[in-house]
Amino acid sequence: PYVVVSNHQSSLDLLGMMEVLPDRCVPIAKRELLYMGAVGVACWLGGIIFIDRKRTQDAISVMAEAAHTMLSQDVS
């Protein structure tokens, strides 16, 4: 398993990364992207997990749940 951290230049970079990364990767993005119109819808449909960075405990619980799911399904 590994973690890829992207320092992207725009919200569209995340969509490009979805094409480049292996199929077994689980992308995580900040929740604000969900509300960016077509980009947010495409990210949601693409299976991106959104975290609310302003609510630390909520973000930690979402990432912990994602980690548990990733371990059980053997994805990165």
Q: Looking at the domain assignment, is residue 21 inside a domain?
A: no
Look at the chain and report how many structural domains it folds into. 1
Q: Looking at the domain assignment, is residue 5 inside a domain?
A: no
- Is residue 6 within 8 A of residue 21, CB to CB? The reply is no
Q: Looking at the domain assignment, is residue 11 inside a domain?
A: no
Q: Quote the pLDDT of residue 47.
A: 81
Q: Looking at the domain assignment, is residue 61 inside a domain?
A: yes
Q: Looking at the domain assignment, is residue 2 inside a domain?
A: no
Provide the 3-class DSSP secondary structure of residue 46. Answer: coil
- Is residue 76 within 8 A of residue 2, CB to CB? The reply is yes
- Structural domain that includes position 55: 26-74
Average pLDDT across each block of 10 residues of the chain; the chain has 76 residues. List them in order: 71 72 77 86 84 87 84 76
Q: Looking at the domain assignment, is residue 66 inside a domain?
A: yes
